[in-house]
Structure 1
Amino acid sequence: MSFEISKSFKYLESSLQYRAIRQDLISGNIANADTPYYKSKDIDFENMLSKEASKEFNKNDNKLELARTTENMMPAIEEENSDEPTIFFRDGHLARNDGNTVDLDVESTELSKNNMMYNADIEALKKQASIFRAVIASTKNI
């Protein structure tokens, strides 16, 4: 049996899971800063959270349908509906002479941003739990 404290509870839970995955990826990038031909990786974090939010809050994506002038035209390819995050290689960073694309300044900045957001998610969950406890405590006195 499962219950929800609020609609945002599952969203925050997913956010924590994706933040943990991102922490591991960024830590792996930093650990491989001296590995020749290593390409820095990241997670498509915002896309996964927006999918989770639209599932939880029943948002309509207002997708624009592809116009087909004849039946012989191929239909649009549907976006894959996976709950797994997309891991990609970060582009835009200059590779060093050994082909490594890890930039320690970028990685440490992303690591600290991810850590702050992880802590903010934890605090939001704590706040929800304290509200839930207060409601239970107030009903005991009735």
Structure 2
Amino acid sequence: MSLFGETIHTLENYLDYSALKNKTISNNIANTDTPNYKAKDVVFKDIFHETLQSPAFEAKRTHPKHIPFSSTSSQSPYSIITRSNTNYNHNGNNVDIDKEMVDLAKNQIYYQALVDRLNGKFGSLQTVIRGGK
């Protein structure tokens, strides 16, 4: 039994994803003028949904009292991919600085929303501990 259910764990995973995405975007921006550099991106939701849809993820329960199947994979739910199918600059570099800046701003808003939600969870706990005061 978890004190918070799965909410804190889920928020932690999304914060890890957002932090890695921020690092990847910053790396892309830093390499805007590097010859033959290929932009990288972090994927999370696509891989997560793909895993849920895969046949290997399913299990059949033959009796209602059987324990349900759950995946306990230690594999990271996100990965870094290289965008190698485009060239924006004459030197083989495919970093689009405008796109990267937009992605960075969106990711910062996303990260702040996650932190606010996490603060709300801990604020609720603090209120309960104080007896509603």
Work out the number of aligned pairs and report it.
117
Which residue type is aligned with residue 114 of structure 2?
D
| Identity value in percent | 30
Q: 2:62 maps to which residue?
A: none
Residue 117 of structure 1: which of 99, 110, 114 is its match? Answer: 110
C-alpha distance in structure 1 between counterparts of 2:100 and 2:3, whole Å = 35
Q: 1:20 maps to which residue?
A: 19
Q: Deviations over 1:40-70 (max 9, x none)?
A: 001112236658xx9xxxxxx46457xxxxx
1:37-52 pair list within 5 angstroms: 37-47=36-46
Alpha-carbon distance change, 112 to 62 in structure 1, aligned in 2, over 3 angstroms: closer
C-alpha distance in structure 2 between counterparts of 1:119 and 1:92, whole Å = 32
Task: Report the TM-score when normalising by structure 2.
Answer: 0.74
C-alpha distance in structure 2 between counterparts of 1:49 and 1:12, whole Å = 15
Query: Conserved in 2, the CA contact under 8 Å of 1:19 and 1:118?
Result: yes
Q: 1:86 maps to which residue?
A: 79
Which residue type is aligned with residue 18 of structure 1?
Y
Query: Conserved in 2, the CA contact under 8 Å of 1:93 and 1:103?
Result: no
Task: Report the TM-score when normalising by structure 1.
Answer: 0.70
Q: What is the Cα-based RMSD across aligned positions, in Å?
A: 2.9
Q: Which runs of 5+ in 2 are unaligned?
A: 57-72
Alpha-carbon distance change, 49 to 129 in structure 1, aligned in 2, over 3 angstroms: farther
Q: 1:30 maps to which residue?
A: 29
